[in-house]
Amino acid sequence: MRAYLSRRYHFSASHRLHRGAYSEEQNRATYGKCNNPHGHGHNYIVEVTAGGQVDPETGMVCDMVKLDEAVRKNIVARYDHTNLNRDEGFRDLVPTTENLCIGIHKMLSPVFAAGGLGPVDLVRVRVEETENNSFEYAGD
């Protein structure tokens, strides 16, 4: 029987939505107030969903302690209280929350593939930027 576990994590970061190839007018038209030259911040909520068989011995889908360690080490420690525009992962990307969500999925995929969390799959990553905006990515 396949079951799913979703865990939520928090971090705060700032960003400016700006594309160097665009003119100032194109950037303002595309990104609006999110193109503020001084940037702006969010209290992001990241939800990671794992899926797999319930272990008959432990009764769990995956080891939550190991999942927490992996997300805190690879995601929260990297992004908390940073400017996303200065992160190497956004060197060639606009740090939209869509791109952040995809990047988080790509960073966590090898952790799941290595089997360190048990025989579970990374089902999806969801990033909540505001109470009105959230983005999900489930892989290619």
The residues annotated as belonging to the active site are 34, 81, 129
Tell me if 139 sits within 8 A of 122, measured CB to CB. yes
Q: CA–CA separation, 121 vs 44, rounded Å?
A: 23
Q: CA–CA separation, 6 vs 52, rounded Å?
A: 12
- Name beta bridge partners: 87: none
Question: Which residue type occupies 139?
Answer: G
Structure tokens at 126: 């969801």
